[in-house]
DNA sequence: CTTGTAGCAGAATGATCATTCTGTTACGAA
DNA sequence: TTCGTAACAGAATGATCATTCTGCTACAAG
């Protein structure tokens, strides 16, 4: 319930994203969007065309607002396992700030709620997972080079394990009340993976 | 669209479960339930009280119909890591039979779609995850005993990693088209975990 | 001030959908 | 056959909600 209304398209999608993220697509009424963005129905329809289009615009907003700031370090050319650890920590800290149990991952949520019956949402989810996979592969390759391991490990397969774990982690953050549980799971997982890379 | 209508309460919930599982709660109309179960609105309301209650009954049905047959082996007193592998394989094979991308896990789906705004659904999801955790802890304890490892490993933390991975796996099965990707992720994950247990 | 325009609030519209209601049918018991 | 009952199909109800529409307001340009 912002005091001021959104003054730009970017700010509008940001506020809409917050609604969709925490309540889901179906449970977010047009009325709730009008109230939370401070923008009139007229403004929303003129700017986006409808609820569905506004929802889709939120995907891109989520990438730049949430994913990139946290996951960017994993995609950096000098990223390694510690970058992945930092990524998880920043997301857990964020979830903690918002309050646990949290809203999880907007993309993963959309994947279960919308994607089964919507091709464009499905494509956006697939693209997001591909991004994660690329980033993890990058960091894992660096890590392996750094520690001088030479075994012919399938980094792609390992990256997939990270993608699966990541999806599961945000899924768990929707029911967990204690951020420490998430931290312990991450720590345990990462030290196992570290052992595997050696 | 069954030719015959459901003749028992159990059969009714089974068919309703299929609808809710594949389409979600919101996207399953009362009309769809009437058509797919072959039971009249009157019958559904007389037997359950409403859509919501029917949905809740599906949780228990899912446990006995899907979870227990597959996860029971992990809960057996002689379970070990191979039981966990068999569990994953049976669920992947099931998803393959239904067709990928599949409906994922009914409980996890409900966790994102319903649980945020429904206490009873939230409790059922938490209970399910606790069940997974207990089962994995059991199998991991056996595995460690069998291979004679003595290091003071936190099995609970390791079990949590398995719970997270499991949630992530079913989440991925909603977008993946190739069951082999899931199998590779499982295989890679399990061999890492095996190394950790030694 | 006047006029034009952009954006607003909130009322109408129309669709969808859970729930309830109404008649009808099938069928077993007497 | 004749009740009585149970369950059916599908129409009415009422609520919710996305979308559209209708005036109104604020304000900038002249």
How long is the CA B49 to C1' D2 vector, in angstroms?
34
**What's the confidence (pLDDT) of residue B150?**
56
Candidates B105, B126, B164, partner chain A, best to mutate (most A CBs within 10 A) = B164
**A132: pLDDT strictly greater than 70:** yes
Q: What mean pLDDT do residues A96-119 have? A: 90
Which protein residue's Cα is closest to nucleotide D18 at C1'?
A30
Name the closest residue on chain A to residue B192, using Cα atoms.
A196
**What's the confidence (pLDDT) of residue A3?**
45
Tens of pLDDT, residues A168-177: 999 999 999 9
Q: How many CA atoms lie within 13 A of B100 on its CB side?
A: 19
Across the interface, whether the CB atoms of B164 and A185 are under 8 A apart is answered: yes
**What's the confidence (pLDDT) of residue A28?**
95
**What's the confidence (pLDDT) of residue A149?**
62
Which DSSP state fits B5? Answer: P
Across the interface, whether the CB atoms of A116 and B174 are under 8 A apart is answered: yes
Angle made by CA atoms A142, A189, A162, in degrees to the nearest 5: 55
Name the closest residue on chain B to residue A196, using Cα atoms.
B192
Tens of pLDDT, residues A33-67: 999 999 999 999 999 999 999 999 999 999 999 99
Across the interface, whether the CB atoms of B112 and A117 are under 8 A apart is answered: no
Q: What mean pLDDT do residues A21-38 have? A: 94
Q: Which residues of chain B have pLDDT under 50?
A: 1-3
**What's the confidence (pLDDT) of residue B147?**
75
Bond prior to B191 in cis (omega within 30° of 0): no
């Amino acid at each position: 319930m912002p005091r001021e209304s959104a003054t730009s398209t970017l700010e509008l999608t940001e506020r809409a994203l917050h609604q969709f993220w925490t309540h889901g697509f179906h449970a977010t009424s047009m009325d709730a969007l009008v109230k939370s963005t401070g923008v009139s129905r007229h403004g929303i329809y003129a700017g986006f065309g409808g609820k569905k289009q506004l929802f889709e615009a939120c995907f891109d907003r989520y990438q730049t607002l949430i994913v990139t700031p946290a996951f960017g370090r994993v995609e950096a050319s000098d990223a390694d396992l510690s970058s992945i650890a930092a990524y998880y920590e920043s997301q857990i800290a964020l979830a903690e700030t918002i309050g646990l149990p949290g809203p999880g991952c907007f993309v993963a949520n959309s994947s279960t709620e919308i994607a089964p019956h919507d091709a464009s949402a499905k494509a956006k989810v697939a693209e997001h997972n591909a991004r994660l996979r690329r980033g993890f592969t990058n960091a894992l390759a660096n890590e392996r080079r750094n520690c001088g391991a030479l075994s012919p490990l399938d980094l792609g397969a390992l990256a997939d394990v990270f993608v699966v774990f990541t999806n599961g982690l945000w899924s768990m953050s929707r029911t967990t009340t204690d951020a420490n549980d998430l931290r312990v799971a991450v720590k345990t997982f990462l030290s196992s993976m570290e052992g595997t890379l050696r």
